[in-house]
Amino acid sequence: MNKYLIALLATGILGGLTGCETTPQPTSTLEEQHAEITLREGDTIHVSFPGAPNLDVASQDIRRDGKITLPIVGEMSAVGLTPTELQNQILAKIGDQLLTKEVQVSVIKSTFSVYVDGPVGKPGQIDTDHPITIMEAIMEAGGFNYAMADMRHVQVLRHKGDSKTYTYLTLDLKSVFDGQQKDLFYLEPGDIIHVPQKFSWF
């Protein structure tokens, strides 16, 4: 995706050119938005059992069929689940065999791209091999231009599955810098972050 496409998406012009529908979403706190990424084909994960380390499994990639293999469980579908959801599914299968009913699923590697547009140091594509938050992506893009950036109305444009619909999520990142909120917003592949200029937002 080039910088011109990013700019078109960020200003909503692309919807008019292609007929894509955009659905505005109300502003909410970061905790209400998205605390975990969803697992995808090719992601590398590690499954461990804190109360029974002898059951720990070596890190493995999620296969093209969307599954992983655990010695005491067998094959399990992982694609489309969050790490917490996968943990819960593992516990549902073998929890009665564990003295300490605890499973940890850690994402070791997850390669994807996101895009940052607006008054930041280096707008453009950000490639990452691990889960990344919106704040981390903005720092990778050189950080805010504090004289110009409206940090209270940062937009995330997110494509909804296979549809032609984009959703807009509005985040107040100024409150994160002020210590009023914790940054729990993880980005998904293809997300576009638009930092508007002060007094000029959608």
Domains and CATH numbers, the chain: 3-36+110-194 (3.10.560.10), 44-109 (3.30.1950.10)
- 159 has which bridge partners? 166
Is pLDDT of 156 > 70? yes
Give the per-residue pLDDT at 88.
Answer: 95
Q: What are phi and psi of 61, to 5 degrees?
A: -85, 145
| Strand boundaries in the chain, DSSP class E | 21-24, 44-48, 60-61, 67-70, 74-77, 104-109, 112-117, 124-128, 154-159, 165-171, 192-194
> What is the reported pTM?
0.58
Is pLDDT of 191 > 90? yes
Measured between alpha carbons, how far apart are the two ends of the chain, in Å? 22
Of the candidates 29, 37, 25, the one whose C-alpha atom is nearest the C-alpha of residue 182 is: 29
Q: pLDDT-based confidence at 183, cuts 50/70/90?
A: low
Is pLDDT of 1 > 70? no
Is pLDDT of 11 > 50? no
121 vs 6 pLDDT, higher one: 121
Residues 6+ apart with CB under 8 A from 113: 1, 125, 126, 127, 128, 189, 190
Q: What percent of the chain has pLDDT over 90?
A: 46
Poorest-pLDDT segment among 27-31, 119-123, 193-197: 27-31
Alpha carbon distances (Å) from 3 to 7, 8, 30, 85, 126: 6, 9, 27, 36, 12
Is pLDDT of 176 > 50? yes
* Cα–Cα distance measured from residue 127 to residue 82, given in angstroms and rounded to the nearest whole number: 21
Is pLDDT of 42 > 70? yes
| pLDDT digits 0-9 by tens, 48-83 | 999 889 889 899 999 999 999 998 889 999 998 999
